[in-house]
Amino acid sequence: MFPLADDFNATSWNDLEPVARNLLERPVEDADDLESLFKDISDMAEHVSEAGAKLYIGMTCDTENEEKQSAFMSFVENVRPKMSEVSNKIDLKIAGLDFLGSLPERYDLILRSMQNSIEIFREENIPLSVECTRLSTEYQKITGAMTVEFDGMERTMPQMRKFLESNDRDIRRLAWTKIRERRMVDSERISEIMDDLVRIRHNIAINSGFENYVDYAFRSMERFDYTPKDCLAFHEAVEIHCMPLIHSINEERRNGFEYDELMPWDVNEKSGDSPDIFGRPPLQPFEEVDDLVSITLKVFHSLSPELGEMFNRLIEGEVLDLDSRKGKAPGGYQYNLEKTGLPFIFMNASGQQGDVETMIHEAGHAFHTMYCSHHDLIQDRNYPIEFAEVASMSMELLTQPYWGEFYDSKETTDRARKMHLEAIIGLLAWICRIDAFQHWMYSNPNHTREERSKAWLDLRAKYGPKTNWNGFEEDEALFWQTQGHLFGAPFYYIEYGIAQLGALQIWMTQLDDPEKALNDYANAMKLGNTRTLPHLFESADIELSFDEGHIGNLVSSVRKSLSELSV
Ligand SMILES: [Zn+2]
């Protein structure tokens, strides 16, 4: 039966059932039997993962295609719940063996993760998880279908971004207002979806014996190396060190623009970006998606021949879907095709500097995947998400010296670099705002919508830019609805912040010794999931720390680099 054939159909439970039965029923007498069981479990998991990946990719590339939508939902409803039951039974079978102590050390983390899943697994949570996936898929469908009529054309939300960057304040105001009006049409349903998600997730936590979903989420996400309290300390350090820098950047803009006050269409609420104070046109790093790909290839080749070669393999593997089309889900992601051995990259490019950063970011994930592809067990390749984002975010910073490939002058390149560094600080504030919001929502699961709005506005006062939302109070109170992670990937957000702290440290290494930075990067990424999070950080010669002074140092170094740029 093993290894399963390449064309094995893992979208069908009928095909999977005998495979699962074999894994469950076969005798496991000694460590050798157990090692081959681990290998075969991994084989099945690779097939199931790739089948799910392909259905998800199919759906997000074409959200209006009912067939693809229902194929994915059928997989979610029929295969995943059964797989989750089977893997719990396999975990229990393995946990009950009396010779686990004689397994080689390389299985320690796999066993820890298995023990953890057993402790939090409850059968009654399976249908609840399916319901959460259904609700977040509905959210995705609602937001993916949003378009507005603008400048004589129907446009998707990602396509509207360029008008928000316009130098003409009236165009920005008009575009921003149109987008907000469109979003408010669906805001009631989206609020209901969040009501349901909070209620269901709280029940999942209670069923598993936790006080609330915060504690459950930390355990189910295998956050063994930091606590909710560490996250709160992180939020505070960002408030202390990032907010003054953000306010001074915005004050410089307000003066530059000669405005009395900044409006929400002057400063991007999430990224902290704003149009150019000198009135220069928005950056145009490329026109066609093909150019984005070929220039990015050059950038990676300049940074390192090895990374250039790896990016080339992605191009040749035809695993890039990069342009923005109606009906395509928003955002960007990288999804591993575990069987094929390649990552798939999804994004909505429309010719902006942000697209360059997303391309490089997702390529960083792809490099991580490729660097650890030599591990034969899927569990050993499944790197922790905090470290996954170190791989992607440090690529954004490490490629900065080569961004000149996209632009024709040092001034323009410096402008792009300035925007990126400012956005890192802006994003840290947004990450902490979203994370603090989730901590609040799930610590107070019986909150009303009014209380939720108030909690959001309180956080906005701490972490938001000083822009004037008068006349748009309802939009302001519901702005969290634009953050998809809150729906589909609860608590998966602080990882970006933790990872940014790691990425900034690798970048600081590069400032002194570029070659060491690349070696540190590769060494750590090659470990995949075979070390704990603090150990992975150590392998890259960086520190996993939420210490206020440490974060203050990183922010100072961004401040210094900003002051050295020619714009
Ligand atoms: Zn990422």
Domain boundaries along the sequence of the chain? 13-121
Integer Cα distance of 356 and 422 in angstroms = 16
What's the gap in Å between 517 CA and the centre of ligand 1?
A: 20
pLDDT tens, N- to C-terminus, the chain (567 residues): 999 999 999 999 999 999 999 999 999 999 999 999 999 999 999 999 999 999 999 999 998 999 999 999 999 999 999 998 999 899 999 999 999 988 999 999 999 999 999 999 999 999 999 999 999 999 999 998 999 999 999 999 988 988 998 999 999 999 999 999 999 999 999 999 999 999 999 999 999 999 999 999 999 999 999 999 999 999 999 999 999 999 999 999 999 999 999 999 999 999 898 999 999 988 999 999 999 999 999 999 999 999 999 999 999 988 999 988 888 888 889 899 999 888 999 998 989 898 999 999 999 999 999 999 999 999 999 999 999 999 999 999 999 999 999 999 999 999 999 999 999 999 999 999 999 999 999 999 999 999 999 999 999 999 999 999 999 999 999 999 999 999 999 999 999 999 999 999 999 999 999 999 999 999 999 999 999 999 999 999 999 999 999 999 999 999 999 999 977
What's the gap in Å between 365 CA and the centre of ligand 1?
A: 7
- Are the beta carbons of 118 and 206 closer than 8 angstroms? no
Q: What is the pLDDT of residue 281?
A: 86
As beta bridge partners, residue 399 has none
Closest CA to 492 of 389, 422, 364, 396: 389
What's the gap in Å between 385 CA and the centre of ligand 1?
A: 9
What's the gap in Å between 343 CA and the centre of ligand 1?
A: 13
What's the gap in Å between 361 CA and the centre of ligand 1?
A: 6
Closest CA to 3 of 44, 35, 34: 44
Q: What is the pLDDT of residue 161?
A: 85
What's the gap in Å between 100 CA and the centre of ligand 1?
A: 35
Q: What is the pLDDT of residue 108?
A: 93
Integer Cα distance of 346 and 182 in angstroms = 25
Integer Cα distance of 416 and 419 in angstroms = 5
- Are the beta carbons of 349 and 324 closer than 8 angstroms? yes
What's the gap in Å between 562 CA and the centre of ligand 1?
A: 24
What's the gap in Å between 491 CA and the centre of ligand 1?
A: 14
What's the gap in Å between 358 CA and the centre of ligand 1?
A: 9
Element (H, E) at 513: none
Integer Cα distance of 7 and 432 in angstroms = 44
What's the gap in Å between 390 CA and the centre of ligand 1?
A: 8
For tokens 């990032």, what's the residue? Answer: 242
304-343 burial by CB neighbour count: b if 16+ within 10 A, else e? beebbebbeebeeeebbbbbbeeebbbbbbbbbbbbeebb
Element (H, E) at 227: none
For tokens 């950047």, what's the residue? Answer: 249
Tokens representing 328? Answer: 């395509």
Q: What is the pLDDT of residue 162?
A: 82
Tokens representing 340? Answer: 């094929």
| Residue 156 DSSP label | E
What's the gap in Å between 16 CA and the centre of ligand 1?
A: 31
pLDDT digits (tens, 9 = 90+) for 167-189: 999 999 999 999 999 999 999 99
pLDDT digits (tens, 9 = 90+) for 325-376: 888 888 889 899 999 888 999 998 989 898 999 999 999 999 999 999 999 9
Q: What is the Rg, in whole angstroms, of the alpha carbon atoms belonging to the chain?
A: 24
C-alpha distances (whole Å) from 50 to each of 7, 58, 343, 547, 555 are: 11, 12, 10, 39, 40
Q: What is the pLDDT of residue 535?
A: 97
What's the gap in Å between 362 CA and the centre of ligand 1?
A: 6
What's the gap in Å between 484 CA and the centre of ligand 1?
A: 14
What's the gap in Å between 90 CA and the centre of ligand 1?
A: 31
pTM over 0.75: yes
As beta bridge partners, residue 154 has 149
What's the gap in Å between 330 CA and the centre of ligand 1?
A: 14
What's the gap in Å between 57 CA and the centre of ligand 1?
A: 16
Q: What is the pLDDT of residue 403?
A: 98
Integer Cα distance of 471 and 489 in angstroms = 32
Q: What is the pLDDT of residue 325?
A: 84
Closest CA to 452 of 192, 181, 265: 192
| Per-residue H/E/C for 340-351 | CCEEEEEEEECC
Amino acid of residue 564: E
What's the gap in Å between 527 CA and the centre of ligand 1?
A: 18
What's the gap in Å between 4 CA and the centre of ligand 1?
A: 31
What's the gap in Å between 226 CA and the centre of ligand 1?
A: 20
Closest CA to 94 of 103, 84, 83: 103
Q: What is the pLDDT of residue 312?
A: 96
Integer Cα distance of 500 and 505 in angstroms = 9
- Are the beta carbons of 99 and 83 closer than 8 angstroms? no
What's the gap in Å between 496 CA and the centre of ligand 1?
A: 8
A 10 A CB-CB count for 509 gives: 21
